[in-house]
Structure 1
Amino acid sequence: MVGALSAARESPAPTRVLLIEDDDGDAFLVEELLLESGAAVDLHRVRTLAEAKAAVQDAACVLLDLGLPDTHELDGLRWLQGNVPSVAVVVLTGLADEYLGEEAVRLGAQDYLVKGQVDGHLLDRVIRYAVERERSDSLQRQLRDAQIYAEENGRLERGLLPTPIVDEQSGVRVTTRYSPGGQRLLLGGDFYDVVQTADGCVHAVVGDVCGHGPDEAALGVSMRVAWRTMVLSARPSTEVLTVVNQVFTHERYQPNLFTTLCMLSIDPARTTGTLHLVGHPPPLLITGSDVRELKAPVRTPVGVGDGSRWPSCDVELGEKWTVLMYTDGLIEGRVGNERRRLDVDGLIELVQTGIAEGLRDEGLLDHVINAVRELNGGDLDDDMAVVALSHG
């Protein structure tokens, strides 16, 4: 009994093989060879590529005749590669057309066999090797794709989430967090940057390109680089935003795309700042136990409306403060089983709770973000970028 169970465990499941062969005699020969060799295969036969299209999805290996009535030479192989690339393909060719078998292998077939020169054991071995080779190739492709994906993500991360350029003696501490939404690994269009200029001012921006994906991320990178370049060139904030708007409108791939952003320029004395809200949620000002929004006129997002008018507001920060800038992914999560979103009021409550526990900088950001996720019941749907600037 134990031996029978062991044998049952060791017996592999039959390999599903699709034979595409219009000649009844050749098809009968393949069936007999596999039966004679005792091959563990589940063979299904069709006569044309058209018939194969409905049956190939369940196959691990295809035995493909190159002389089908509805294909020419290697057209059938090309269709299989284009539509079911995960299936192993062994082509069957006549002696006079052996060169086509060699060409098929160069194009990606796992192997080829010449009709009339095959026995059962050879056919069985070729099928098994073809399936294993395709599995190995598939794993290699997945590994290569993962490496490319990771490299692309790294490039986007460096572009969207740069290292702040702030002098250690500036008196401003910078804490940042970023998380792609919806359990995605690839970053989206949210971006941030913090730069100190030669006059001692510290400038910060947080932006959100509408949509998700590599195209939006590329737009975010181009805007962030344009913003940093203009700020380091000591251009006025209105000129900075005008150029950012021009870059965005020229680079966007759809005319209805837009970007919201928040820009704050902090004076060298670190007690006041100039705030621009471009269709973006206002930042929070934390002073002691008080948490409130920093108000400023809100204009339409980047890419919408007049690209030359950028209203702003001078804001009082005080002597000891933290400014929390964020994209709307942080406040659009759900609150438990309720239908309402967290919104700014809910965010203020979470910040106040963290302050009451004596948290600041990294500890405060981690507390807030973890609480937002917990209330949402898991990862947020939207991307989220958060920057905390602190003084004193």
Structure 2
Amino acid sequence: MPVPVPRQRDIPGTESGPGATSSLTLLVIEDDPAGGLTVPEILDADGHRIRLRSARNLTEAARLLTPDVNCVLLDLALPHGPGVGSGSGSGDAAADPFGALRQVLRIAPRHAVLVLTAEDDAERAAEAVRVGAQDFLFRDELDGRLLSRAIRYAVERKRADIAQYKLAESKLRAQENARLERGLLPHPLLEGSDLRFAARYRPGRSRALLGGDFYDTVRTPDGTVHAMIGDVCGHGPDEAALGVELRIAWRALTLAGLCGDDLLATLQEVLEVERPCEEIFATLCTVDIAPDGRRAGLCLAGHPAPLISRPGRPARLLPYENSGPALGLLPRARWPRRQVELGGTWSLMLYTDGLIEGKIGQGKERLGQDGMVEMINRHLADGLSGEGLLEASVTEARRLNGGELTDDVAVVLLSRAEG
């Protein structure tokens, strides 16, 4: 059946002159372009003519579907074949009454689509919208004003649909990335140990869960608890990925029995192979706590020394003389292992420099290690411990900085109570 549409004027695909870029283009797909509607012209909301193109079948429609087309008007009675390349098509419409519409939606996924049908076929028209069309029009009620309004509404609805789809896709991607990053965060292995563990992690990158800082804690079969914290220089995703690689390598090497200088030398080899450029280095602090919990071995590779607190004494930094260089700076470097007496009841805090490099107030002065020790002692005097101590410390560092800390922050607290 012929579809009544306005007769196509000789309007070029691209017009010159004022307002040409804002005009709309309608592609009409129907099998009798000789049919016409007695409307002199179709105007958009701004009074510009809506350009018309006609296609007799889906093959022609695919050829005429250029980027400047805003909307497609499809006759639901159009015969369709197995695909776009089927010429005028002679498929059985009864087998799939929306076959032509499905093919149009496939070849024009970003275009608004209107369907045209008879007034006594309202149920089919509504089903066409459920299939994917933006709206339907009845052939007997069609005029220029109704058609121009339907085109405008369909184009805006399609834009809204695409924006909503992109938003949902973006949220889904963000959720998948968050799940992936959460899966890369460490899960301490401390089963059988009497040590208590707490940690706080805050990446410097906006909307990220992982930064270049990394930490881990494991207990080996001999009862030794091994803890480490490190910091890859830089703040991007490459540095975050390298931090994850170093953490996983540290865990594997530790469980394999390496510690101290041997472990750090092997980690340096891993870093040298995996880093994106030779300027990348990483600082590291490792602590190996003896099975009785009263002493530990400490290795520092260019990293700030841990802080220890004991009952009745102010917290202080562990000795950091004779520490080795950061990983990746010097070939064949050595990292001395220092024996530290912990005592019976203690808390040991490992941290990255993001905690101490935040500013204090409006000047250039930074919190520093001395300021951090003073801050921790205040919180200890207030009775804070464990998670509460770490949360209060990170919160105060942010407050003193006047906002979010720009560097990654990782803090690990291991505690033991002799009883």
Fold shared per TM-score above 0.5 = yes
How far apart are 1:188 and its partner, in Å? 1.3
Matches within 5 A, 1:71-86: 77=67
Matched, 1:106 2:107: yes
Whole-Å separation in 2 of the counterparts to 1:291 and 1:64? 80
Give the match's secondary structure for 1:298. Answer: coil
The answer to whether the Cα contact below 8 Å between 1:36 and 1:120 also exists between their aligned partners in 2 is no
Listed one character per residue, the Cα deviations across residues 224-263 of structure 1 (whole Å, up to 9, x for unaligned) are 1111011111123323222222222211222211111111
Matched, 1:134 2:159: yes
Give the match's secondary structure for 1:130. Answer: helix
Which one of the candidate residues 147, 154, 165 is aligned to 1:122?
147
Whole-Å separation in 1 of the counterparts to 2:379 and 2:415? 15
Which one of the candidate residues 8, 14, 22 is aligned to 2:14?
22
Check 1:22–1:257 CA distance in 2 against 1; reply closer, same or farther (3 A cut): same
Whole-Å separation in 1 of the counterparts to 2:364 and 2:227? 33
Which one of the candidate residues 207, 211, 219 is aligned to 2:242?
219
Whole-Å separation in 1 of the counterparts to 2:176 and 2:194? 35
* Equivalent in the alignment of 1:7: none
Matched, 1:193 2:216: yes
AA at the equivalent of 1:193: D
* Equivalent in the alignment of 2:293: 270
Check 1:23–1:156 CA distance in 2 against 1; reply closer, same or farther (3 A cut): closer
Whole-Å separation in 2 of the counterparts to 1:385 and 1:240? 21
* Equivalent in the alignment of 1:147: 172
- Structure 1, unpaired ranges of 5+: 1-18, 46-61, 67-72, 81-87, 93-98
Whole-Å separation in 1 of the counterparts to 2:324 and 2:48? 66
* Equivalent in the alignment of 1:337: 362
* Equivalent in the alignment of 1:231: 254
How far apart are 1:379 and its partner, in Å? 1.7
Number of equivalenced pairs: 332
* Equivalent in the alignment of 1:158: 183
AA at the equivalent of 1:240: L
How far apart are 1:384 and its partner, in Å? 0.7
Check 1:220–1:260 CA distance in 2 against 1; reply closer, same or farther (3 A cut): same
AA at the equivalent of 1:235: L
Check 1:74–1:36 CA distance in 2 against 1; reply closer, same or farther (3 A cut): closer
* Equivalent in the alignment of 2:315: 291
Matched, 1:208 2:209: no
Q: TM-score, normalised by structure 1?
A: 0.73
Matches within 5 A, 1:171-186: 171-181=194-204, 183-186=206-209
Identity among equivalent pairs (%): 37
Give the match's secondary structure for 1:328. Answer: coil
- Structure 2, unpaired ranges of 5+: 1-10, 26-36, 55-62, 74-83, 86-102, 115-141
Structure whose residues are more often helix by fraction? 1
Q: TM-score, normalised by structure 2?
A: 0.69
Listed one character per residue, the Cα deviations across residues 151-201 of structure 1 (whole Å, up to 9, x for unaligned) are 222222332x3111012x422111111112254334212111000111111
Whole-Å separation in 2 of the counterparts to 1:328 and 1:184? 21
Check 1:270–1:328 CA distance in 2 against 1; reply closer, same or farther (3 A cut): same
AA at the equivalent of 2:235: H
AA at the equivalent of 1:109: R
The answer to whether the Cα contact below 8 Å between 1:275 and 1:315 also exists between their aligned partners in 2 is yes
Listed one character per residue, the Cα deviations across residues 257-283 of structure 1 (whole Å, up to 9, x for unaligned) are 111111111111212111111111111
Whole-Å separation in 2 of the counterparts to 1:310 and 1:64? 77
Give the match's secondary structure for 1:359. Answer: coil
The answer to whether the Cα contact below 8 Å between 1:21 and 1:64 also exists between their aligned partners in 2 is no
AA at the equivalent of 2:107: R
